[in-house]
Amino acid sequence: MHVSAVSGNVATVQRGALGTTAATHTAADVVYRYVPPADVTMAVLAMAAHTNNTRIASGIKTESIGEYSVTYGDTSRMPEYAAGVVNKYQRIGV
């Protein structure tokens, strides 16, 4: 569910956003929101920062002019902390 606006205790939402199922709620219904575990949030931030910093630090390895393409340095390694969190939540057989 994507909340696009809030006014007082009224939230305007985009129905069926981000793979959710659209549902109608009356004024008395209780609605819950999912908050990912803090370590997952921190792992995602660590991966994003690592990817950005590695891309910049490693520089551009290849570049083409026709049909413009760029290859950045090594961004494939995941920070140890993030890898540990991912392994902790990994589903078997999925």
Kindly report, residue by residue over 74-91, the tens digit of the pLDDT. Answer: 556 778 888 888 888 877
* pLDDT of 39 over the 90 cut: yes
Q: What does the pLDDT read at residue 60? A: 59
pLDDT per position as a tens digit, 59-73:
556 667 777 776 655
Give burial (CB, 10 Å; 0-12/13-18/19+) of 82: buried
pLDDT tier at 45 (50, 70, 90 boundaries)?
very high
* Residue 30, φ and ψ in degrees, nearest 5: -90, 130
* The pairing of beta strand 2-7 with beta strand 10-14: antiparallel
Query: What does pTM read for this prediction?
Result: 0.52
**Rounded Cα gap, residues 40 and 45, in angstroms:** 9
Cα pseudo-dihedral 35, 4, 21, 89, rounded to 10: -20
Contact 39, 81 (CB under 8 A): no
